[in-house]
Every structure is written in C-alpha cells, then in structure tokens.
Chain A
Amino acid sequence: MSESEELDELKEEEATSEWLSFALGESSYAVDILRVKEIRTWEKMARIPNSQPFILGLINLRGAIVPIIDLRLRFGLEQRERDRETVVLVMTVMTEDGEKTMGIMVDNICDAVKLTEDDIKSAEKFDLAIAERFVHGITDIRGAMAVLLNIDSVLDTIDF
C-alpha cells in the first residue's frame, strides 16, 4: 500500500466530498461529483435564437431537452476549437423552480478527488477572474490550485 493510498484511507474517516476536476485552458476547476449525471462527448446541438453567447444550444438527452453551456465563454475566457478531449458534463442544477438538467462543455476531464473539509480553502484572497458567487473554494490537486465551483450559481438561469 503506497503512502498516498494510506492517506486516502485515513481521509475517508472524516467528512469527505468527492470532486471531478477538469481543465479550461491552463486552469483547473472541479465540480461536486454527486451533481454530475453523466459525461458525454460533443454532439450536434440546436442553436437557440437570441440567446447569450455562452449558451451553445439544446441537445436531446433521452427525450429531455437539455441546454449546453460553454463554460469557457461563461467565464469570459476565449472560445476554443473543440477537439477529441472536449467533453460535456451533464449536471444536476438546483434552481428556484426545482431541479434542472444542464450540460457544461469543458476542455477535458482530469480526475476525481476526495477532499476533506480541511482540504478546501477559502478563495477570498485570490482574484480568480470569475464571479465570487461561482466559487466554493480552492484546493490543491497534485500540487496545482483547482477552483471548486458552486454549480448552482454558475448555471443560474437569471444570467441566461
């Protein structure tokens, strides 16, 4: 048993949450894994007229009409040609009118990490270039900083 595995096991004793990390360009982000319904590759979407630029369109998810959001554009980053690694994370979002399903398009997914409450640090001191309400905190994943996202704010339909 390696040292890190041992550590992981120790952590399990405490209250842990699991996060799925992904990249947008150079930056790392992560979302609560319990909110990730499924991971899909890019597919053709129906464009929505006169919508915000970050709304890519609508897909058919087993009979449900689900909007897909380009997370890069949502965060004010520049658009990027999609490639083989581009994926769509289908998320459960809690809104005022109840639970909705929406997808976010990200550059690639990295891995799933277990975090204890102590692992999650406040992001207050940092200018993360995205709205504060989007951010749950920051953490260290393999030595690099990852921004933990508050997905309900990121996908708040008020901004749509």
Chain B
Amino acid sequence: MSDPMERFKQVFFDESAEALTAIEQHLLKLDLSDVTPDVIDDIFRSAHSLKGGSATFGMSRLAEFTHFMETLLDMIRAGQRSFSQQVVDCLFECLDCLRNLVNHYQFEEEVNTGLIEAVEAKLQALIDDKEPGTTTDTTESSQTGIAMGKEWKIGFAPEPELLLSGNEPLRYIEELAEMGKISVQCDTHSVPSLAELNPIHLKLSWTITLSSAQIISVEELKDVFLWVEDEAELSYTCLDQEALSIPDKTDIPATASEPQNTEQTQAKSAAKPSVKKAAEAKKSNQSIRVEMSKIDSLINLLGELVITQSMLSTFNNVEQFPGLARLQEGLGQLERHTRDLQDGVMQIRMLPIDFCFSRFPRMVRDLCLQLGKEIDVVIEGENTEVDKTVIEELTDPLVHLVRNSIDHGIEMPDEREAKGKPRKGVLKLVAYHRVGNIVIEISDDGKGLAVEKIKNKAIERGLIDEQAKLPDQTIKELIFSAGFSTAESVTDLSGRGVGMDVVKRNIQSLGGQIELRSEENVGTTFSIKLPLTLSILDGQLVKVMGETYVIPMLAIIESIKVSRDDINKIGQHDISFKWRSQFIPLLNVAETFALPSNGESIDDSMLVVVVEHDSHQFGLIVDELANHQQVVVKSLEANYIKIDELSGATILGDGSVALILDVGALVNRLKVH
C-alpha cells in the first residue's frame, strides 16, 4: 500500500469500525426516557465523520446514506424530532446498512441495495415527519441573474475587525490579480490620526478595477471573497456588460459610475451560535493506531533481546572473570528490564475482551425479536485484557455458544413462567484472569441439558453403546462430539452445520479448554480457559535424548517419578501406569519421535509428565525436566511445513531451537496406535 490515499482509506475503514461500534454502544445503552444531548451529539458525530470521510474518499454510496442519517440526527439534535423508539429501531437498521456499505468499499462485499433503499425510505419518512415550517433547507438563496464580463469594478470595504479573523485584505486583492490586470485605489479617508490609530483596526477600503482576457462571472468574484462576505461591504460592477449576449438583469447597473446601484452584499450579523463548552471534559482514552506488523517485529526483536540477555547470564564463572560480580549486578538489572519490556510490549497487543463481548447485546436483542424470547444480557469483566489474535479467533466460537444458549437454553417466556421462573431469561458473559489464563464463562438460566435426551440421541447416532453405564457429566459432554445436535427443529440460528464439536476444536487449537456445567431446569454454563496470548507460552522444558522440547504448562497436571516396575508393558512398549487409582496411557517421547537411543537407561524409575487434553489424562515419558519458562512461539510454517505433533518452535536462551509439543495431536496419535 504505497499509495497514500489507499493508506488513508485503510485508516478510514478502521475509524468506521470504531464509529459503528460507538453508535451501537450508545443505542444499546439508550434510555429513551432520559436521552442526554451528549449521547445524541456523539451519535451525530460518528455519522458525521463517516460521511465526511466517505465523501472524501469517493465512497459515494456510503456518503449518500450517511447524509440521510446525519440529516435526521441533526434534526433530533435541534429538537425538531424526538428520539423515539421508532428512531432507535431505524438507527439499528442503519448500522446494518453502514456495515454492509463499509464492507462493500473495504472488501468488495455486494451492496444490499434492497435493505439500504428500504432504510433510506424509513429515514426519509422520519425526516419528513417534522413539524411544518422548521425546514432545514440550507440551499443558498439562489443567485439573481448571471453577470459576466471581462471588465469589473470591485468595491471592497472590510469591517475594522477583519484582521482579527486572521484575514489579510491584500490576499484577496492579490487573488484578483491572478485573474487579470488590476488597478487598485485605496481609500484612506477614515484612517484616524496617528495618535488615535489602533493598528489592529482596519480603516481602509479599496476599489479594484479588474480587466481580464477571459469572461469572469460574478460568482467567480464572489468566490474570491467568500470567506469575508459577512465582514465586508462588497460590490461588483460589470463594466463591459454590453459586450455580452447574456440578457440584462436588473441588479447589474448599466453604468459603472453609480456604485449605489451595484449589487451589494451587506454585512449581516451572523446568527448567534450557542458556543457550547464540552459538557464535561471527558477523559478520552487516548490511543494511536499501529500496524500489527510493526508490533510483531518489535516482539521478534524483543525475543532476540531475551535470548541475548539469557546468553549473557550464562557467564557466571567468578574465578575466570574477576570483574564478574559487578557485571552480574548489571546483568540482573538487564534481566528485570528485559522482562518488564517484554511485558510492556505484549501489553500493546492486548485488548479488552469487550471487543468481542460488545456485539452480543445487539445480537441477543435481534434474536429475541425473532424468537419471541425475552433475555437480559449481563456482562462482567469486559475490561479483562487478552491478546488481539486470541480475540479474533475467539469470536466465532463465542457467537456460536451464545446463539446456542438463546436457541436451546433459554425457554419461551410462557414456558418459563409455568416453571416458576421469571419471564425474562438471563444470559451472562463473564471474563476474568486466572494464573496467566483468561477464563470466559457463558451461562444461561435456561432449561439445561437433558441427560436422557442426549443419551438417546447419542445411542441413535451410534456415539455410545446402549448398554454403556456412563456418568451424567460424560453424557452431557457428548454434545461436543462430532455430528451431535439436540436441536429438534433446525432453525436458522443453530443447525448451520457448525456443531459444538467445531467450537471445541477451535478453542483447543488456541491452546485452550472448554468445560461444561449444566443442571436441568437451572441452566448451562460453558467455561473457556485460554492462554492470554498466542505468541508467548508458559512452557515446561523437558529433555529427551539430548533434544529439548517444550510442553505447554496449561496441559500439565504434574510430573512424577514412576518406578519401572509400575509401568505396564506390552512387548518393548510402555503402555500404561496407574495414576490416582486409574490406568492412564503412556507415550514414550523418544520412541514416538524415533529419536536415536543412547543406550538403555539404567535408572529404575522413569520421569512421567502427566498431561491432560479433552479431560483425558496421559503420561509423557521424558528423560529430564529442565526450566519452566515463558517462550516466544514461532511458527514452523513460516519457512517449513506444519508438523502434526508440534504447535511451533521457540528459541532458547543459548540460541538453540526447541520444539513445542502439541499435546492434543499427541493424544490423537495415541488413539491411532
């Protein structure tokens, strides 16, 4: 994007997204009985900016549409129209149109002409509904007559205060000079004596005779003085009128000698504006826009710095380097600063989860209208911060879960009443931090999961055996299985072919976990645990046959020494061991990765890292536990290919590369074998 205009457009698109969110937020929070001017101003301003930008960047359809919106909002602002429910509903629809139009210009999405025309008609109807006589028609009173000629005499008598608006009369005269030859007469008769002279009061006036090679219209001349037409007495007299074939108009005098008859623009007193102080000096959250790639390269650099720093810290032989003690002090400081810097840079990418949550009130409102349900949305912890990339990946699964709760969870108002519940259901979205992770809970007070129903369906689908004795929780979790859906009728809300299995997979691919709690007729809660960022991972370094691997801490339950005798083998393979009174499968990393063995270990115990995936535990056999540290995740695909069992690689303190294990993929490997 080297074309600056293209770059500005990009900024405009970002702004548009913000403006749309701002409007939506206001509309959702709006209390019609108490609409403050601030809110209307804010909504107006957002629409206004959209209009200004879109017109500037040649997005005519968007400019046209926002013009309608702006007109209506301006009338509301002026008190000519009230902020009615009808207006609110219409503005919500406007948002859909705006999104469509912005997407049209940004991503070439097709314009939904039908919708836009319909909404424009609604806006027009609301605009037309105004009290008669309050027309805001702003077209200037039409010019009387067309005056044209090559010779003009212009009278220019500015008000004494002209200089105080930063205007310089000579500029205008110079501009006339660009149109042709001029001769200027300066009238100094009102200039007072030197003693009384106030240098900032302009007491001069001019008469300029302009003769041009081209025909000049009075509009062109008025254009020159446009900015000062209210602050000066101006007269334009055409001296060669007869040279023109344009019919004579009464306001153009036949002779130049009678300036009294010339068209005059009297200084009018400008309408007194109510200069409003910003109601309250709202402390706006100041921010700047930065390209993601710039932050990413900063993070990469920082990764390098962390590595260099840890490399330096390995020089710790005091005998060899006598000055080391002092150096170490400095190194300690460097380490702390590096860590702070790293935290700081990571913070840049963090956004409040509100970026994701904020869409839900509107979505729920729309779905409720569609389904005839009544639901309150409660949001808590919307300021909890999480990495931008996580938010992006998280949005789809959350949308699905929320739709699911509304569609299958919360009952119809009558049904709720019959159950002795309030008619209005509650959908709760909660976010909070817990030890390096973000937890997001979506809960409803709906009908909960019906164990029997799920069980029957699962048997029907062949997911479980009819005879199987399964705990209730296990049965409930069957909704996460591929090809499972409890929807009795396929509405357009759910049943889009996206099942809970996809939601779960998405969450897992982000390195997260999803849990489910549900009680019949009380409600359902989905709890999602995710790392705060995808680019840094809290990892346990392990060594296997001299190679270093990273296991995500999120997956680790514990690391234990297991006596060889306690490991069940089939042939040469380690198969399982008893952990917390259950047999769990074992995976020998060296074997799985076909690492060249460096001779049979003589230890009589083995080190097992118990990890969990999908609520299933299994043990990874490793040689040695090394550091527990934060690692910067680097993709393997950047220069190589995706490897199933790995979620990426990282660079360690000594500059060497360590691979990050994908615990989920390793489990799948176990199942295959």
In the complex they form, whether A and B have CB atoms below 8 Å apart is answered with: yes
**Residues in B neighbouring A100, C-beta threshold 8 A:** 638-640
Q: Tell me if B643 counts as interface (CB < 8 A to partner A).
A: yes
Say yes or no: A46 contacts B547, CB within 8 Å: yes
Chain A minimum-CB-distance residue to B645:
A49
B647-673 contacts to A (CB < 8 Å): 649, 651, 655-659
Q: Tell me if A62 counts as interface (CB < 8 A to partner B).
A: yes
**Residues in B neighbouring A102, C-beta threshold 8 A:** 639-640
Say yes or no: A62 contacts B304, CB within 8 Å: yes
Q: Tell me if B641 counts as interface (CB < 8 A to partner A).
A: yes
Give the CA-CA distance A51 to B641 in the complex, in Å.
10
Say yes or no: A157 contacts B641, CB within 8 Å: yes
Say yes or no: B656 contacts A46, CB within 8 Å: yes
Query: Across the A-B interface, how many residue pairs have beta carbons closer than 8 Å?
Result: 75
B: interface residue count bin: 20 to 34
Q: Which stretch (B131-139, B454-462, B488-496, B589-597) binds chain A?
A: B589-597
Q: Tell me if B636 counts as interface (CB < 8 A to partner A).
A: yes
Q: Tell me if B303 counts as interface (CB < 8 A to partner A).
A: yes
Given that A58-B649, A65-B649 are contacting pairs, would A46 and B659 also be in contact in the complex, using a CB cutoff of 8 Å? yes
Q: Tell me if B362 counts as interface (CB < 8 A to partner A).
A: no
Given that A60-B651, A64-B634 are contacting pairs, would A46 and B640 also be in contact in the complex, using a CB cutoff of 8 Å? no
Q: Tell me if B183 counts as interface (CB < 8 A to partner A).
A: no
Say yes or no: A160 contacts B657, CB within 8 Å: no
Q: Tell me if B347 counts as interface (CB < 8 A to partner A).
A: no
Q: Tell me if A59 counts as interface (CB < 8 A to partner B).
A: yes
Say yes or no: A67 contacts B657, CB within 8 Å: no
**Residues in A neighbouring B649, C-beta threshold 8 A:** 46, 58, 65
B288-344 contacts to A (CB < 8 Å): 300-301, 303-304, 307
Of A46, A101, A157, the contact of B657 (CB 8 Å cutoff): A46
Q: Tell me if A110 counts as interface (CB < 8 A to partner B).
A: no
Min distance, Cβ A59 to any Cβ of chain B, angstroms: 6
Min distance, Cβ A103 to any Cβ of chain B, angstroms: 9
**Residues in B neighbouring A101, C-beta threshold 8 A:** 639
Say yes or no: A65 contacts B634, CB within 8 Å: yes
Give the CA-CA distance A46 to B643 in the complex, in Å.
14
Say yes or no: B639 contacts A65, CB within 8 Å: yes
Chain B minimum-CB-distance residue to A59:
B657
Give the CA-CA distance A160 to B637 in the complex, in Å.
12
Fill in one digit per residue for A93-120: 1 if any B CB lies within 8 Å of its CB, else 0.
0000100111000000000000000000
Min distance, Cβ A9 to any Cβ of chain B, angstroms: 38
A39-83 contacts to B (CB < 8 Å): 44-51, 57-60, 62-67
Chain B minimum-CB-distance residue to A49:
B593
Give the CA-CA distance A134 to B414 in the complex, in Å.
73
Min distance, Cβ A55 to any Cβ of chain B, angstroms: 8
Of B637, B643, B656, the contact of A60 (CB 8 Å cutoff): B656
Say yes or no: A65 contacts B593, CB within 8 Å: no
Chain A minimum-CB-distance residue to B303:
A63
Min distance, Cβ A1 to any Cβ of chain B, angstroms: 44
Say yes or no: A66 contacts B547, CB within 8 Å: no
Given that A63-B300, A64-B634, A65-B657 are contacting pairs, would A49 and B594 also be in contact in the complex, using a CB cutoff of 8 Å? yes
Say yes or no: A67 contacts B640, CB within 8 Å: yes
Say yes or no: A63 contacts B651, CB within 8 Å: yes
Give the CA-CA distance A101 to B635 in the complex, in Å.
13
- Report which residue of A64, A65, A100, A157 has the largest number of chain B beta carbons within 10 angstroms of its beta carbon: A65
**Residues in A neighbouring B595, C-beta threshold 8 A:** 47, 49
Give the CA-CA distance A21 to B555 in the complex, in Å.
49
Say yes or no: A49 contacts B639, CB within 8 Å: no
Q: Would you give 10 A-B contacts (Cβ < 8 Å), ordered by A?
A: A46-B656, A48-B640, A49-B659, A58-B657, A59-B657, A60-B657, A63-B303, A67-B639, A97-B637, A160-B640
Known: A49-B646, A60-B651. 11 other contacts (CB 8 A): A46-B649, A46-B656, A48-B643, A58-B636, A58-B640, A60-B655, A63-B301, A64-B634, A65-B640, A66-B640, A160-B641
